């Protein structure tokens, strides 16, 4: 099935979880013994956030003893300012573990991941956190907007990748990282530019060295789109 134009097509939230589920179904029977794959949800919290300021600062009152206030008693916690904040989002990601250790992750980028500077910084830091903690990553972004931003380009700049050729969305990119032993660190990258209305490729998901699982994005996307009535 050709890739939809996700700049104009609605229904991504349903396709997101369905596509992730189909990728899980594709991967599980192809894993070597000892691996566990599952789709999980986790709050949007960066592993490492070296840039920018936090959206919300948290303060804790001294003492730690909770008590209710009387009707005529003033509130002892008077903030300097107050703002309304959005509910903490949850993401669905595909995790691969071996012997209780996270070894690889599949991430499907959503439009909200690139909605504003703070989101860009947090998600880029999250993806970089996988790599710096020796977790292989398959990152897929089918959303062309915003046109001037690419997580792949940001990662390349931060990791010092020699090939700085821009990779605008839509794209898939596969990262293989070293195991963190004493031989030193290294990063291997495979880029897959995607084209709207064209078939999707088979891409490698590294799960070790030299082990990879080929992930058929076309077959899994087609199954998700059909279930979501986008076929």
Distance in angstroms (rounded) separating the CA atoms of residues 84 and 228: 33
**Model confidence at 122: pLDDT above 60:** yes
Q: What does residue 7 show for φ and ψ, rounded to 5 degrees?
A: -80, -20
Distances (CA, A) of 129 to 10, 114, 172: 30, 17, 18
The per-residue pLDDT for range 134-188, each reduced to its tens digit, is: 999 999 999 998 888 999 999 999 988 887 899 999 999 999 998 765 555 788 9
Per-residue pLDDT at 213: 96
Could you tell me the CA-to-CA distances from 139 to 39, 83, 173 in Å, in that order? 15, 33, 5
Contact 106, 20 (CB under 8 A): yes
Angle, to 10 degrees, between the axis of helix 117-132 and the axis of helix 151-159? 50
Instruction: Report pLDDT for 73.
Output: 61
Tokens 């989002």 belong to residue: 89
What pLDDT is attached to residue 56? Answer: 33
Which among 153, 155, 188, 158 has a CA at the least distance from the CA of 169? 153
Task: Quote the radius of gyration of the chain (alpha carbons, Å).
Answer: 21
The predicted pLDDT at position 1 comes to: 67
Share of the chain above pLDDT 90, in %: 58
What Cα–Cα distance (Å) separates residue 25 from each residue in 31, 94, 105, 193, 220?
11, 11, 15, 24, 9
Extract the tokens encoding 46.
């960066």
What gap in Å lies between CA 159 and CA 161, rounded to an integer?
6
Higher pLDDT, 11 or 56: 11
Per-residue pLDDT averaged across 122-131, rounded?
A: 93
Q: Using pLDDT thresholds of 50, 70 and 90, give the confidence band for residue 82.
A: low
- Rounded-to-integer distance, Cα 21 and Cα 116, Å: 28
**pLDDT reading at 219 higher than 70:** yes
* Domain residue extents for the chain: 12-42+88-227
As a whole number of angstroms, the distance between CA 113 and CA 142 comes to 12
Read off the pLDDT of residues 24-40 as tens digits, 9 standing for 90 and up.
999 999 999 999 999 98
Question: Token pair for residue 56?
Answer: 């919300």
The chain-wide mean pLDDT, for the chain, equals 81
Hey, CA dihedral for 11, 14, 20, 25, is it positive or negative? negative
Greatest mean pLDDT among 90-94, 109-113, 176-180: 109-113
* Lookup result for tokens 């949800």: 41
Bigger pLDDT: 22 or 8? 22
- What 3-state DSSP class applies to 89? coil
Q: List alpha helices for 133-215, DSSP H.
A: 151-159
Task: State the pLDDT confidence band at 193, using cuts at 50, 70 and 90.
Answer: very high
């Amino acid at each position: 099935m050709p890739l939809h134009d996700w700049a104009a097509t609605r229904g991504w939230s349903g396709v997101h979880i369905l596509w992730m589920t189909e990728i899980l179904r594709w991967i599980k029977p192809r894993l070597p013994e000892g691996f566990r794959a599952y789709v999980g949800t986790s709050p949007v919290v960066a592993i490492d956030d070296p840039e920018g300021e936090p959206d919300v600062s948290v303060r804790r009152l001294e003492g730690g003893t909770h008590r209710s206030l009387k009707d005529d008693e003033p509130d002892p916690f008077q903030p300097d300012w107050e703002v309304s904040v959005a509910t903490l989002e949850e993401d669905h990601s595909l995790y691969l573990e071996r012997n209780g250790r996270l070894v690889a992750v599949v991430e499907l980028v959503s439009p909200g991941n690139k909605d504003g500077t703070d989101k860009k910084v947090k998600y880029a830091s999250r993806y970089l956190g996988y790599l710096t903690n020796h977790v292989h990553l398959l990152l897929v972004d089918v959303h062309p907007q915003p046109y001037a931003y690419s997580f792949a380009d940001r990662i390349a700049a931060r990791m010092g990748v020699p090939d700085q050729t821009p990779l605008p969305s839509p794209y898939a990119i596969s990262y293989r990282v070293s195991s963190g032993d004493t031989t030193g660190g290294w990063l291997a990258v495979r880029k897959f530019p995607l084209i709207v209305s064209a078939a999707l490729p088979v891409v490698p998901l590294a799960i070790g060295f030299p082990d990879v699982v080929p992930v058929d994005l076309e077959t899994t996307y087609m199954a998700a789109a059909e279930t979501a009535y986008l076929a």
